[in-house]
Every structure is written in structure tokens, then in C-alpha cells.
Amino acid sequence: MFYAILRRFGQMLFVMFGISVIVFLIFFATPGADPAARIAGRNASPEVLAAVRHSFGFDQPLYVQYTRMMEKIFVTGDLTSFVNRGWKVVPAVMDSIPVTLSLVFGAAVLWVVVSIIIGIVAAAIRDSWLDKLLMALGLLGISMPVYWLGEVMNLITQSRYHDSWAFSWVPPLGYKNFSDDPKGWFLTLVIPWITLAILYIGIYGRVLRAAIIESMQEDYIRTARAKGLSETRILFRHALRTSLIAFVTLFGLDFGALVGGSALLTEVVFGLHGIGKLTYDALQNLDLPMIMATVMYASMFVVIANAVVDFVYILLDPRLRAS
């Protein structure tokens, strides 16, 4: 067991190393991607270009440049932005992490709980009108783009109906630190949570319903009925557990990606300066150190999320324990 965890950890490090090398090569070594040219600006004279190249260390061999950058990210933590030379990259990422984590964690709790309830209820009463209604609502949730839904939410809660009793509690857009103001933290995030969760509730509810219905066709469900168990017990004890495997797989992928920056649209719509926003700005400006740092951070979360998913698999399905 200990050995397996250690090996898994080694794999994670290896994947992150691979990602960092690839990203580095894309931005520093592909033909035409001369970072010095970007920094020096258009029409820079060859002398200026050479000076920039030297002062940023671009005249060093690639492996030296790579090691130095990694050292500055992980060891000394003093990597600075190319665009704004005084701006330290690592603290900027660290400042954005709590914003994104707050957003994604809250939304994840919401969508997991609600979609499990919806999936189970819909599967238990499949083909009834309520099942059809729930699935139609789910489809509606999937179909609404988050930037549109977010703007509609803002329109309703920030301006149109802000003065009504229903939404007068909604604070202005922005993020409040949990440690400074827990209540403000919660209130500012409620609408973003709901907005982000709606899409995933639709997907997860439908996936879980389908998985449960599929499990209910299995031979062992017939055995469970032959044992004289109640339908409720059969659903919760025998069908649900195997159905959760598909659910967990999806969750690992989505959660890792969201924490890694895919919540960008939600962050922008609600004025939250999270990792998504940071990555987006870095890419806009081709700010290579910042891109490198955010990508390393994102890949770390994706890799961790995958490891957690594998662990949950093993909890859910004993058939995976031996290997």
C-alpha cells in the first residue's frame, strides 16, 4: 500500500515535469517564438534585441534557462513577470488560489449534492412526468452558457430586482477574504456558486440517472430482488455504488480542470480575480513566466485530482484493489 502510494506520487511528479518541459519548449523554443523580440517590442534595433536577450538570459542554452526558471518558481520563488518587471509571479498565483478554490469548492459541493439527489430520484421514478421534467431541466442547465447565465444572474440580482426583498442581500461583485469577513465571503459567492453549479448539475444528474438505470438491469439486482430486499435498499445498496464510478470519473476531471483555471468565465463575469483570470491575462500578454507558473499550478491540481479519483475508485470497487 505504502509502496503503491509512493509510486503514484512519483508518477505525478513525472507528469508535471513532462508538462513543464512541453510548455517551456512551446513558448521558448518553437521557431518564430522569440521571447526577446516580444519584450523588446516592434522595430527594435539588433543591439537592443541582443541586450534584452542577454539581460533575460535568452542567450544561455535551453536547459540552463529551463532549470533557472524552475528554480525560480519552486525554490527561490522570485520569478518576475516579463511584462511588469517588478511583479513577482509566485505570490500573484498564491493570491489567486483562495479565490478560485472558494468558487470551485462551493460550486462542487452544491452540484454534487443536488445532482446525486436528482439522479437517484429520476432513476427511481424513471419515465414518470417528474423524471422527464427533471431531465429536461438538466438539459436546459447544460445548454445555458455560463457567461450568459452569469450576466443574467447579475442583471437580476445586481440591478433589476436588487431592491426587492429577494435579492437585497446580494453584495456588490468582488471577492472578500474568508478570514476577514466570513459572512461577506459567503454572500458574495452564493450567486457565482449557483451559476457555476447549474451546468454541472445538469450533466451529473443525467449521467448518474443513466448509470443507475443501467445497473438496475444487472443480474445481481435480480438476485437482490430474489433475496426479498426492498426496492429502496436495492437502489441504495446495490445499484448506486457501482453507478458512482462514472460520476467520480467525471468529477475528478471537471474539478481538476476548474481549479486549474477553467472557471475563467465565471470569474470574469463576477469580477473574481482567480487563477482563470490570471492565466487569461498572462496568455493575452504572452507573459511567459506567469504562463509557466499558472500552468504548473493547474497541472498540479489536475494530477492531484486524478490521484484522488483513483483512490476513490479503489474504495468503491474492490475489484480494483489487487492491481
Interface with other proteins (CB under 8 A): 218-220, 222-230, 233, 237-238, 241-242, 316-319
Q: Which of 269, 259, 315, 286 is nearest to 97 (CA)?
A: 259
Kindly tell me the burial class for residue 99, based on how many C-beta atoms sit within 10 Å of its own C-beta (0-12, 13-18, 19 or more): buried
CB of 313 to other proteins, least distance (A): 11
C-alpha cell at 73: 518558481
The upper half-sphere exposure of residue 33, i.e. CA atoms within 13 Å in the direction of its Cβ, equals 12
Cβ closer to other proteins: 183 or 233?
233
Q: Is the Cβ of residue 179 or residue 217 nearer to other proteins in the bound state?
A: 217
Contact 49, 43 (CB under 8 A): no
Q: Answer whether 89's CB lies under 8 Å from 295's CB.
A: no
Residue 34 vs 131, nearer CB to other proteins: 131
Closer to other proteins by Cβ: residue 47 or 219: 219
CB of 137 to other proteins, least distance (A): 25
Distances in Å between the alpha carbon of 25 and those of 33, 65, 74? 10, 11, 19
3-state secondary structure of 228: coil
- Of 188, 153, 190, the closest CA to residue 171 belongs to 188
Buried b (16+ CB within 10 A) or exposed e, 124-148: bebeeeebeebbeebeebeeeebee
Least distance (Å) from other proteins to the CB of residue 135? 19
Comparing CB distances to other proteins, the nearer of 242 and 285 is: 242
CB of 131 vs other proteins, minimal distance in Å: 14
Cβ distance to other proteins smaller for residue 71 or 317: 317
Measured from the CB of residue 184, what is the shortest distance to other proteins in angstroms? 44
Q: In the complex, what is the shortest distance from the CB of residue 128 to other proteins, in angstroms, rounded to a whole number?
A: 12
Contact yes or no for 247/155 (Cβ under 8 A): no
| Contact call for residues 214 and 125 (beta carbons, < 8 A) | no
